[in-house]
Amino acid sequence: MTPDPIAAIRGFNRFYTRTIGVLEEAYLGTPLSVAEGRVLYEIAKAPEGLTPKAISGVTGLDAGYLSRILKRFEREALTTRAPSPEDGRSITITLAAKGAEIFSGLDAASNQVVERIIAGLDDGQRGRLTRAMTEVRSLLDPGPAPEVILRPHRPGDMGWIIEQHGEVYTREYGWDSRIESLTARVCADFLANFDPTLEHCWIAERGGERLGSIFLVKGEAPGQAKLRLLMLTPAARGLGLGKRLVAECVAFAQAAGYAEVVLWTHAVLTAARGIYAAAGFEMIDSWTHADLGPEQVSETWRLTL
**pLDDT tens, position by position, 79-100:** 888 887 776 677 888 988 998 8
- Half-sphere exposure in the Cβ direction for 110 (13 Å, CA): 12
Q: What is the pLDDT of residues 233-283, one digit of tens each?
A: 988 888 899 999 999 999 999 999 999 999 999 999 999 999 999 999 999
For the chain, list the domains and their CATH numbers.
Answer: 5-140 (1.10.10.10), 148-304 (3.40.630.30)
38/44 Cα distance (integer angstroms): 10
Read off the pLDDT of each residue in 222-228 and give the average, rounded to a whole number: 96
Rounded to whole angstroms, the Cα distance separating 5 from 9 reads 6
Q: Which residues contact 52 (CB under 8 A, 6 or more apart)?
A: 63, 66, 67, 70, 90, 91, 93
Q: What confidence tier does 304 reach under pLDDT thresholds 50, 70, 90?
A: very high
Element (H, E) at 71: helix 63-75
At 204, give phi and psi (nearest 5°).
-85, 130
* 19-53 pLDDT per residue, tens: 776 666 666 777 788 888 888 889 988 878 888 88
Contact 81, 92 (CB under 8 A): yes
Q: Per-residue b/e over 241-278, b at no fewer than 16 CB within 10 Å? A: bbebbbebbbebbeebebebbbbebbebbeebbebbee
